């Protein structure tokens, strides 16, 4: 046997037996045994803790040592730190750790399609800023755009394709869904394929839809917007025969009359409107426009009016024709038409001060060609035609912009088209209904019957980021990429095409909407690739856009520079040959009859048409006028409330024809009597845990045929019903009845106001009135180098709240929820205070952004027992979170009450830990500490940006300058009302505002020396009123 082995091992076989010693070669038993043990005996042994340790082997010793070290290590570990830090193994070329990258893209939050810069850190988007080069928004972006980053990281986004089985959605894979849908599409025969979408603004998407149509010829596109300017545009078409309503040079208008229009607030294009509007509210050039607003509900535009006329919406036509008649009577304008409307009768009917009407008429006649009359989207066509006429005869068409005009890539469908669709579905003429990121079940008026007919229809496919009412009745839900994960191009203006590019890989198993359609066009579920739409887009640009641009640079260069810039601009002729068609001016029923209340349905300031309902930051952004969060409500006037015996929070039933809605009442000062204003976008049923149960779905009141306009209804009934519903406001309601509580903001010099004429007479009138030099017992600290300060121009500040959301995003401010807002515990570091003065029927409103004033003699600092809040040598009032024990003494002693306390761990408290989802961690700004429970926090003047600028300055070998730093609120402010910089540097632009003749400190009598200067608000009103 051993011989055999021996022989075998010596043989030259293919698996040779290597030997290390002769003993091994000759198969010594002991040696063979040893071969199976790596170590000598005694070096190792089995571990047995019961064994006597004196016989401790080396291995056991090491094992015990290791174990004790491991146990000690684990025991000493901070159990709260559950995070993982995964470093880059290989550093990506474009990423420097700790340095943000910015990518130009386009916001798709509304149809303005503003240019944005997406700030990414280590590959994840953390902040949205406006693209400073973009001609439309010029570096500014609204609250919705700011907050859209939360939608990207919404843990409730749909994570993979869903298929409905027996009314339950279950996850499935893309292939099976695509195959099934392609099967339905190819077998549609002569039946229609309905694509339901929001307004299409992308030329490439439109091309793709046309390709889709070519592939499936029975395709029909239904595009809709709940709020749109179709009436304005059709009136324009009737008045001038071509084009869209032009863009307006608001900055050149000296007198503006807005009719039921919220052009500074909820209307589209408001970022550009606000910027241009504020350019002529400028204390430097001493240029002040005068804004008249004639409206029913108090809007953001209304609170900024110099004169506000409270008029019922159905009287607007009468009002405009009355103006024309009066101007004609005075010989200001000559027209062949005669309307015979007496404006003073109308004024009497609406309890208007006839003096205001006189002022308006005088201003319009004095500023012929330098004024603009602007009617709101919701007004009927007649009013728009009358307004076009008035602008025409006053010569105001000079203010229509000639360089750029709005364009519709694809005009939207109307309610009739949808009715046809419903009929076709009923008659079994439709193969499939595909919702392209749209939610018609929620948006369309119920009397179209869309939801009803669709819930019985089988082939409904929804392409959506999140669950929605329309997804709920679909067979398949296909998750689509967020805008920040997508490619796209947008054209809403002549001469500009914006581009959007993905800045992060899709977080979930989602695909871009256009890529899904491309897969279906190719009729092959395997044809999908990540770059499929990118290639399509690029090809389209190469074939269709690049040639028009007529440039000598190569397409690649052109493409990459367009991507880098985020947009391309080129000259595109617009039809500027305007001839007013007087034949269009035919008005019937000038005197509108109304036997009941008037209902005005408005777009929500923060939620839009409901698309942003699941966004906590926006839900918690206080309404710019009422300061209510987390709900919509029926706003009624003071005297209407009195006559109906209604108080805030009482429930009413609003009835329009047969449609009813229960909703709480809010008494809004300045609203028109017998008018109810309700904002839409609330009352979502299926949109995630944040939005569920928030507000009331007033879309139920919409109808396909209105007696006035799609958003304004007459003959509305209101009745008080049992019960109450508490609305959460961030500001205590102002009492108009108690004299000692009135005008405190003026009496205490919180807000200082004057008039333009006072200012022009004596530019130093504010200082003359209010400046008192106080003595201090302390020797002031000398700030020798940079000292940070802020100035806020109350003339430019509109009170929109964009800065509030920008601050939330920049500084990781949590959402606290309605219950906490009700307890007055909101966490926003920056708030917009709103004050009323005057009567509840015609209030004067002041707004004021309020944030930490970084006082030199900060009252908060000396009362903190643990020195958790201190002053820096560059003038900042600092918070040291680690040191704070949470006595709240600082907050008690802060006269501005800008400190915010973490009563709970709000990330855990809100909606059962919703904000503690791991996806949320990606959202946080890594430069800002996430505060724990029991800690005080407040505005830091964006100290992380200051530090960043300082380190950059050091790197460049120079000292930091005031202009190096821009705070988040300053970046966001659409009117540039916020300025930030170095108080000690006279060469900077900021210095001028810090030491402005209109500058004042809020509560200056306290002598705490704030570093925030407010520029006093000037009202452009007639001085004889004083």
Partner 1 sequence: MNIDYSQEAPAVAGRLTLAEIEELVAKPLDTRPDKKYFIALSISGSALMIGAICLALSFYYGLGLWGNNQPIGWAFDIVNFVFWVGIGHAGTLISAILFLLRQKWRTGIARFAEAMTIFAVMCAGIFPAIHTGRPWLDGYLLPYPNQHSLWVNFTSPLLWDVFAVSTYFTVSLVFWYIGLIPDFATLRDRTSSKIKKTIYSLFSLGWRHSSRHWQHYEKSYMLLAGFATPLVLSVHTIVSFDFAVSILPGWHTTIFPPYFVAGAIFSGFAMVVTVLVFVRKIFDLENIITMDHLEKMNKVILATGMMVGYAYGMEFFIAWYSGVQAEQFVFVNRAFGPYAWAYWIMVSCNVIFPQLFWVKKFRRSIPVMMVVVILVNVGMWFERFVITVTSLHRDFLPSSWAYYTPTLYDFGILIGSFGLFFTLVILFTKSLPVVSISEVKAVAEGAQPSHHGGVVNA
Could you give the angle at which helices 230-240 and 381-393 cross, rounded to 10 degrees? 50
Q: How far is CA 481 from CA 37, 506, 673, 764, in A?
A: 58, 6, 46, 56
Minimum distance of partner 1 from residue 753's CB (angstroms): 15
Token pair for 500: 């959007």
Residue 188 CA to chain centroid, in angstroms?
Answer: 40
Nearer to partner 1, 430 or 884 (CB): 884
Minimum distance of partner 1 from residue 829's CB (angstroms): 12
Minimum distance of partner 1 from residue 563's CB (angstroms): 45
Minimum distance of partner 1 from residue 752's CB (angstroms): 14
Minimum distance of partner 1 from residue 486's CB (angstroms): 39
Nearer to partner 1, 37 or 823 (CB): 823
Nearer to partner 1, 332 or 1006 (CB): 1006
351-358, long-range: CB < 8 A, 24+ apart: 351/310, 351/673, 351/841, 352/309, 352/310, 352/311, 353/842, 356/292, 356/307, 356/309, 357/309
Smallest CA-to-CA distance from 203 within 630, 491, 567, 626 is with 491
Minimum distance of partner 1 from residue 977's CB (angstroms): 18
C-alpha span between 304 and 256 (Å, rounded): 12
C-alpha span between 432 and 595 (Å, rounded): 44
Nearer to partner 1, 562 or 890 (CB): 890
Minimum distance of partner 1 from residue 1008's CB (angstroms): 8
Minimum distance of partner 1 from residue 273's CB (angstroms): 27
Minimum distance of partner 1 from residue 876's CB (angstroms): 18
Minimum distance of partner 1 from residue 1014's CB (angstroms): 13
Secondary structure class of 248 (helix, strand, coil):
strand
C-alpha span between 283 and 795 (Å, rounded): 8
Smallest CA-to-CA distance from 903 within 928, 935, 879 is with 935
Those residues whose C-beta lies under 8 Å from the C-beta of residue 372, and which sit 6 or more positions away, are 248, 250, 253, 255, 256, 257, 391, 396, 399
Those residues whose C-beta lies under 8 Å from the C-beta of residue 782, and which sit 6 or more positions away, are none
When computed from its CA atoms, the radius of gyration of the chain, rounded to whole angstroms, is 34
| Biggest CA pair distance of the chain | 133
Nearer to partner 1, 511 or 734 (CB): 734
Edge to edge, the sheet with strand 496-500 lists: 488-493, 496-500, 567-569
Nearer to partner 1, 555 or 889 (CB): 889
Total residues belonging to the chain: 1026
Minimum distance of partner 1 from residue 216's CB (angstroms): 56
Minimum distance of partner 1 from residue 734's CB (angstroms): 8
Residue written as token pair 């993905």? 502
Minimum distance of partner 1 from residue 899's CB (angstroms): 8
Minimum distance of partner 1 from residue 812's CB (angstroms): 18
Nearer to partner 1, 484 or 901 (CB): 901
| Tally of CB atoms within 10 A around 200 | 21
Those residues whose C-beta lies under 8 Å from the C-beta of residue 634, and which sit 6 or more positions away, are 652, 654, 663, 664, 665, 666, 676, 677, 678, 718
Nearer to partner 1, 478 or 728 (CB): 728
Nearer to partner 1, 116 or 864 (CB): 864
Minimum distance of partner 1 from residue 832's CB (angstroms): 9
Exposed e or buried b per residue across 957-974, where buried means at least 16 C-beta atoms within 10 angstroms of its C-beta: eeebebebbbbbbbbbbb
Residues that bind partner 1 (CB under 8 A): 731-732, 734, 740-741, 744-745, 747-748, 750, 820, 823-826, 831, 833-835, 848, 850, 859, 862-867, 883-889, 891-893, 895-897, 900-905, 909, 932-936, 1003, 1005-1006, 1008
Token pair for 907: 């990330």
C-alpha span between 686 and 694 (Å, rounded): 11
* Geometric angle at alpha carbon 217, from 213 and 222, rounded to 5°: 55
C-alpha span between 440 and 704 (Å, rounded): 13
Nearer to partner 1, 65 or 866 (CB): 866
Secondary structure class of 64 (helix, strand, coil):
helix
Those residues whose C-beta lies under 8 Å from the C-beta of residue 29, and which sit 6 or more positions away, are none
C-alpha span between 815 and 827 (Å, rounded): 7
Let me know: does 915 contact 925? Beta carbons within 8 Å: no
Instruction: Give the chain's count of helices (H) and strands (E).
Output: 36, 39
Minimum distance of partner 1 from residue 803's CB (angstroms): 16
Nearer to partner 1, 725 or 903 (CB): 903
Nearer to partner 1, 376 or 801 (CB): 801
Secondary structure class of 349 (helix, strand, coil):
helix
- Report the Cα–Cα distance between both ends of the chain, in Å, rounded: 124
Q: How far is CA 893 from CA 254, 697, 889, 1020, in A?
A: 44, 42, 6, 37
C-alpha span between 57 and 759 (Å, rounded): 93
Nearer to partner 1, 596 or 934 (CB): 934
Minimum distance of partner 1 from residue 77's CB (angstroms): 18
Let me know: does 829 contact 896? Beta carbons within 8 Å: no
Nearer to partner 1, 361 or 628 (CB): 628
Token pair for 349: 């009917």
Minimum distance of partner 1 from residue 626's CB (angstroms): 13
Nearer to partner 1, 90 or 772 (CB): 772
Nearer to partner 1, 304 or 515 (CB): 304
Q: How far is CA 617 from CA 614, 786, 812, 910, in A?
A: 9, 34, 11, 12
Strands 712-724 and 650-656, how do they pair? Answer: antiparallel
Nearer to partner 1, 457 or 904 (CB): 904
Nearer to partner 1, 741 or 768 (CB): 741
């Amino acid at each position: 046997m051993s011989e055999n082995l021996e022989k075998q091992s010596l043989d030259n076989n293919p698996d040779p037996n290597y030997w290390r010693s002769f003993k091994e070669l000759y198969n010594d038993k002991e040696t063979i045994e040893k071969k199976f043990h790596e170590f000598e005996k005694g070096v190792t042994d089995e571990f047995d803790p019961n064994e006597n340790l004196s016989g401790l082997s080396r291995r056991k010793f090491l094992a015990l040592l290791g174990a004790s070290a491991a146990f000690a290590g684990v025991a000493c570990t901070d159990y709260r730190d559950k995070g993982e830090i995964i470093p880059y193994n290989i550093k990506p070329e474009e990423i420097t750790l700790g340095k943000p990258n910015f990518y130009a893209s386009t916001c798709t939050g509304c149809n303005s399609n503003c240019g944005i810069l997406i700030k990414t850190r280590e590959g994840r988007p953390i902040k949205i800023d406006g693209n400073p080069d973009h001609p439309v928004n010029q570096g500014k972006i609204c609250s919705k755009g700011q907050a859209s980053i939360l939608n990207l990281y919404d843990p409730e986004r749909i994570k993979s394709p869903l298929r409905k089985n027996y009314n339950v959605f279950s996850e499935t894979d893309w292939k099976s869904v695509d195959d099934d849908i392609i099967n339905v599409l190819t077998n549609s025969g002569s039946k229609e394929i309905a694509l339901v979408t929001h307004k299409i603004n992308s030329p490439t998407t439109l091309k793709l839809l046309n390709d889709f149509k070519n592939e499936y010829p029975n395709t029909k596109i239904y595009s809709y917007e709940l709020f749109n300017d179709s009436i304005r545009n059709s009136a324009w078409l009737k008045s001038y025969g071509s084009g869209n309503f032009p863009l307006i040079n608001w900055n050149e208008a000296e007198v503006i009359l807005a009719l039921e229009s919220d052009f500074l607030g909820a209307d589209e294009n408001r970022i550009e409107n606000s910027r241009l509007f504020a350019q002529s509210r400028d204390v430097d050039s001493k240029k002040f426009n005068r804004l008249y607003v004639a409206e029913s509900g108090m809007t953001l535009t209304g609170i900024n009016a110099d004169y506000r006329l409270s008029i019922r919406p159905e009287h607007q036509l009468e009002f405009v024709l009355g103006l024309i008649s009066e101007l004609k009577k005075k010989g200001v304008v000559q027209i062949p038409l005669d309307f015979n409307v007496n404006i003073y009768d109308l004024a009497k009917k609406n309890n208007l001060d006839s003096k205001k009407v006189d002022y308006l008429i005088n201003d319009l006649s004095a500023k012929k060609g330098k004024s603009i009359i602007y009617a709101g989207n919701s007004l009927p066509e007649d009013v728009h035609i009358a307004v076009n006429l008035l602008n025409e005869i006053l010569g105001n068409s000079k203010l229509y912009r000639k360089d750029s005009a709005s364009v519709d890539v694809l005009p939207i469908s109307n309610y009739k088209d949808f009715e046809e669709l419903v009929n076709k579905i009923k008659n079994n003429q439709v193969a499939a209904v595909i919702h392209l990121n749209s939610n018609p079940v929620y948006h369309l008026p119920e009397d179209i019957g869309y939801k009803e007919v669709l819930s019985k229809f089988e082939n409904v496919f929804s392409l959506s980021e999140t669950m929605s009412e329309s997804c709920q009745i679909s067979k398949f839900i296909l998750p689509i990429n967020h805008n920040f994960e997508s490619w796209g191009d947008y054209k809403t203006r002549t001469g500009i095409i914006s581009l959007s590019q993905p800045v992060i890989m899709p977080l979930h198993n989602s695909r871009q909407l256009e890529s899904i359609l491309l897969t279906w066009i190719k009729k092959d579920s395997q044809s999908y690739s990540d770059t499929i739409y990118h290639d399509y887009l690029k090809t389209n640009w190469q074939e269709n856009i690049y040639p028009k641009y007529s440039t000598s640079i190569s397409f690649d260069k052109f493409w990459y520079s367009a991507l880098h810039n985020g947009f391309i601009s080129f000259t595109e002729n617009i039809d500027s040959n305007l001839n007013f068609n007087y034949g269009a001016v035919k008005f019937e029923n000038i005197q509108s009859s109304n036997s009941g209340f008037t209902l005005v349905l408005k777009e929500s300031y923060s939620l839009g048409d409901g698309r942003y309902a699941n966004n906590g930051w926006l839900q918690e952004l206080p309404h710019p006028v009422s300061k209510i969060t987390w709900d919509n409500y029926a706003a009624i006037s003071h005297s209407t409330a009195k006559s109906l015996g209604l108080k805030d929070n009482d429930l009413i039933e609003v009835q329009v024809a047969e449609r009813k809605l229960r909703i709480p009442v809010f008494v809004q000062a300045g609203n028109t009597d017998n008018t109810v204003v309700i904002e839409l976008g609330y009352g979502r049923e299926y949109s995630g845990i944040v939005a569920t149960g928030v507000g009331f779905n007033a879309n139920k009141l919409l109808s396909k045929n209105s007696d006035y306009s799609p958003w304004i209804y007459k003959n509305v009934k209101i009745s008080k019903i049992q019960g109450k519903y508490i609305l959460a406001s961030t500001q205590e309601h102002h009492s108009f009845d108690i004299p000692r509580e009135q005008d405190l903001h003026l009496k205490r010099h919180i807000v200082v106001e004057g008039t333009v004429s006072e200012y022009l007479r004596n530019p130093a009138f504010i200082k003359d009135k209010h400046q008192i030099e106080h003595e201090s017992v302390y020797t002031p600290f000398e700030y020798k180098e940079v000292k940070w300060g802020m100035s806020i121009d109350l003339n430019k500040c509109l009170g929109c709240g964009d800065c509030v959301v920008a601050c939330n995003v920049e500084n990781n401010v949590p959402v606290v929820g309605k219950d906490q807002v009700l307890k007055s515990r909101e966490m926003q570091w920056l708030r917009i205070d709103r004050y009323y003065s005057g009567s509840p029927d015609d209030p004067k409103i002041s707004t004021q952004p309020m944030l930490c004033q970084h006082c030199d003699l900060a009252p908060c600092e000396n009362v903190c027992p643990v020195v958790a809040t201190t002053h820096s040598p560059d003038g900042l009032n600092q918070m040291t979170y680690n040191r704070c024990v949470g006595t709240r003494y600082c907050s008690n002693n802060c006269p501005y009450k800008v400190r915010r306390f973490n009563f709970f761990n709000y990330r855990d408290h809100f909606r059962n830990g919703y904000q503690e989802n791991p996806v949320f961690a990606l959202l946080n700004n890594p430069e800002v500490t996430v505060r724990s429970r029991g800690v005080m926090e407040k505005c830091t003047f964006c100290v992380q940006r200051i530090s960043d600028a300082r380190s950059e300055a050091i790197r460049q070998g120079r000292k930091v300058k005031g202009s190096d730093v821009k705070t988040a609120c300053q970046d966001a402010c659409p009117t540039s009302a916020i300025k930030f910089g170095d108080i000690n540097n006279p060469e900077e632009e900021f210095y001028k505002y810090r030491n402005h003749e209109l500058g004042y400190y809020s509560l200056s009598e306290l002598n705490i020396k704030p570093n925030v200067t407010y520029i006093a608000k000037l009202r452009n009103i007639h001085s004889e009123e004083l």
